[in-house]
Amino acid sequence: MSQTEHTGNSLELRYGMNPHQKQARLFTEGKLPIRILSGDPGFINLLDALNGFQLARELRSATGLPAAASFKHVSPAGAAVAAPLTPELAKAYFVDGLELSPLATAYARARGADRMSSFGDAAALSDIVDASTAQLLKREVSDLVVAPGYTEEALDILKAKKGGKYLIIQIDPDYVPDPVELRTLFGLKLQQERNDATIDASALEHIVTENKELPDHAKRDMLIALVTLKYTQSNSICYTLDGQTIGIGAGQQSRIHCTRLAGDKADRWFLRQHPTALSMKFRQGLSRAEQNNAIDLWLEEELTPVEQAAWEAAFDEVPARLTREEKREWLSRLQGVSYGSDAFLPFRDNLDRASRSGVKYVVQAGSSMRDEEVVQAANDYGMVMSYSGVRLFHH
């Protein structure tokens, strides 16, 4: 079939997981819940789109706010709900001076959570896409957008992206899959009940720490962490703050490695808001992606002479590097962070590391052999910790 040809229940794809894997298609027994409005989807495109939209839709349901996810290689690079941006965040996200709708703000936050990882993302949106959101998508390097609908103006804007090749997917927001899902691995069939666990405020009620003060903003952020983890490759850990993810650790075999990875990303997210980072004077013509790369290298402890020369070439005025002490001082201001785990915490080392990135609120499954040790760690740091009672592995 040619580009984007499909029937009511089948859609031919460009190729499978890799270009040499042919005979790729999407199909179902009933009517497909998606329509391709522009572009030519591949296998991974649809993995990201279908996972990402579920995340955005469930964030909308859990919080009541417009939501967005920036998806990349079957895990979220960022997820967020609509919340006003500070001037510092707007500048760090390259959206200062733009008028953003609530949905556009949610996507700016989701993409800004980890701009390095969001490069070439799948943008998943909970609401009908408006012109403001479409304009933001048009200026970013993105592979596709999936949403329940698009205004006429938004669709015109997006259809002009990539010379008309930008992948635009419309999905039925009320679609409910069969309760049992099936997949094939190595020619063998695997079957299970779909993960239809509902994430809501009841997951936060079982507080096990001495500190039991859980403000509304923390509840919102903890729900964002749990919903994000539901669609993140396991093992996974998520740090959230101010209505968005700020660090996601995905697909690590050790939970402490997830915690470290996510914590390091959270630290970098906050360091990008340092006055030195916000005042950098880049060489004229440098793309936003190249500016992101330069800021990321600025955070490295040291560079080789070749790396240093290439890095300096990005600037009109080369910025001073922060010392370790300056970084520690700045990071000490990162406070009130929420932390979620897709399963129980087996050792206290996870909270020891999380504490260094401003974590105050924790939600995890509970029922570890060392629960007492982990609760003690939370008490040592004055954290509030809830047991959700639900494991959220995703593979």
- Residues identified as active-site: 72-73, 235, 395
Which of 141-157 are b and which e, b meaning 16 or more Cβ less than 10 Å from the residue's Cβ? ebbbbbbbebeeebbeb
Q: Which residues, in sequence order, are CB contacts of 321 under 8 Å at separation 6+?
A: 298
What token pair was written down for 344? Answer: 């129980």
Residues 6+ apart with CB under 8 A from 202: none
Q: Give, for 240, the enclosing helix (H) or strand (E).
A: strand 236-241
- Other C-beta atoms within 10 Å of 49: how many? 24
φ and ψ of 246, to 5 deg: -125, -10
User: What does the radius of gyration of the chain's CA atoms come to, in whole angstroms?
Assistant: 21
Query: Residue 97: which region, alpha, beta or left (left: phi > 0; alpha: psi -120 to 50)?
Result: left
Chain length of the chain:
395
Contact 295, 277 (CB under 8 A): yes
Among left, alpha and beta (phi > 0; psi -120 to 50; other), residue 315 is beta
The residues near 278 (Cβ < 8 Å, ≥ 6 apart) are 88, 91, 92
Burial class for 98, CB neighbours closer than 10 Å (0-12, 13-18, 19+): middle
Alpha helices for the chain (secondary structure H): 43-63, 87-92, 102-112, 131-139, 152-159, 216-230, 255-271, 275-278, 288-298, 305-312, 324-331, 349-355, 371-380
Give the Cα separation of 228 and 250 in Å (integer). Answer: 11
Decide if 232 contacts 250 (C-beta within 8 A).
yes
Taking the alpha carbons at both ends of the chain, their separation in whole angstroms is 31
